[in-house]
Structure 1
Amino acid sequence: MSSKKKNKKRQDTELRSQPSSAGRDVAEIKIPEGISFSFRYYQQDKNKFSISDRDAKYLASLLRRLRDLSQLKAEEVINNQSKSLRCHIINWQDTTEPNGFGIPNEDQLVNIPYQFQISANEYGRVHGFFSENVFYIVWLDPDHNLYS
């Protein structure tokens, strides 16, 4: 019985020793252009910008908006004149947060802060900044508290 076990080799061991691309043609895939979204600097602990009491409809609308905007380039979002998007620069002096986002190294990270609507005034706004074609979401503002 023990001699049978010694000669029997596990099948998955053979698979692991093969190169991952063995026998496969690797296709070149062009990644579509468009913005991406990052939550790297998202501040969930600020009560003023909390979404903890929001329902699934809010989250679904937010995700749809982010998906739709990801089809556009940063300059297309920034220059879009649509009343349903209303993307524009945040002027901190006109807000309830005159010191900005308050993230570490903000003066080096944030060139220009922006905001855009989730939907036509129904679900509030998203605040953040662009770095190339990535929009870093810092605050979700369902109650328009940045200007209250």
Structure 2
Amino acid sequence: MAKKGNKNSGFDIPDPKKQLENAINSLSKYKVGEQGIPFHSVKNLKPFFAFDYLSLEKTDLCFNCKTNDRDDLLGLLEGLKKVSSFTYEKMRLTKALRFHSIDLWDKEVNLQPKDFLKILAPSYRGMTENELPTLYQFDLQYTIEARAVGFLYKGIFYLVWYDRNHIIYPKK
């Protein structure tokens, strides 16, 4: 048995603050410019949603746009609840969800790489347009047609924009 007050007692009591710090650091949230893992490696995961890069600039693509109302908020929550029961692969294969990547360099897309870069790295330090993660969209499937737009990083879907009027990637 170890003596009271003896520093060489043979066992260490873990420091709860250190354990909490280690747990938080292991979550591995997105850091600007950090490379994720390819879609095929996360396709069998169900999405977790993060709001770290949510656009709140009060533009037509923002979650706090002046024209958004209670139905938009409820539709967003219902849509997130629905797709959170799917895997990314099932989302991709479910035609009604229209889950796909967005090519920011496509001339039909009404969003520039610099717009996305501004959200991720407002000071434009630590990242270039060529290092941007891939944007994805999916239909929220409620009475008002709207799309959630964001990016994947290690299985986490980071919501960025709420495209109520199909501004980013127009309907064909």
**Structure ID, larger Rg:** 1
In the alignment, does 2:91 pair up with 1:69? no
After superposition, the CA RMSD in angstroms is 2.4
Conservation of the 8 A alpha-carbon contact between 1:97 and 1:146: yes
Conservation of the 8 A alpha-carbon contact between 1:73 and 1:133: no
Deviation at 1:113, TM superposition (A): 1.2
Q: How many corresponding residue pairs?
A: 114
What residue ranges of structure 1 are gaps of 5+ in the alignment? 1-32
Q: Which amino acid aligns with 1:34?
A: K
- Report the equivalent of 2:70: 56
Deviation at 1:129, TM superposition (A): 0.8
Change (3 A) 1:109 1:121: farther
Conservation of the 8 A alpha-carbon contact between 2:79 and 2:142: no
Query: How far does the alpha carbon of each residue in 1:9-65 deviate from its partner, in whole angstroms, 9 at most, with x for none?
Result: xxxxxxxxxxxxxxxxxxxxxxxx621101111111051313332221121111011
Identity %: 27
TM norm structure 1: 0.65
- What aligned pairs does 1:1-148 form with structure 2 within 5 A after superposition? 34-45=46-57, 47-50=59-62, 51-77=65-91, 79-83=92-96, 85-92=97-104, 93=106, 94-99=108-113, 101-102=116-117, 103-104=120-121, 105=127, 107-108=130-131, 110=133, 112-119=134-141, 122-147=144-169
Query: How far does the alpha carbon of each residue in 1:73-113 deviate from its partner, in whole angstroms, 9 at most, with x for none?
Result: 23332x22322x11111121221113251222365461x21
Q: Which amino acid aligns with 1:42?
A: L
Higher alpha-carbon deviation: 120-129 or 66-75: 120-129
Deviation at 1:123, TM superposition (A): 3.0
Q: Secondary structure at the match of 1:127?
A: strand
Determine the C-alpha separation between the residues in 2 that align with 1:74 and 1:113.
14
Runs of 4+ in 1 over 4 A off after TM superposition: 106-109
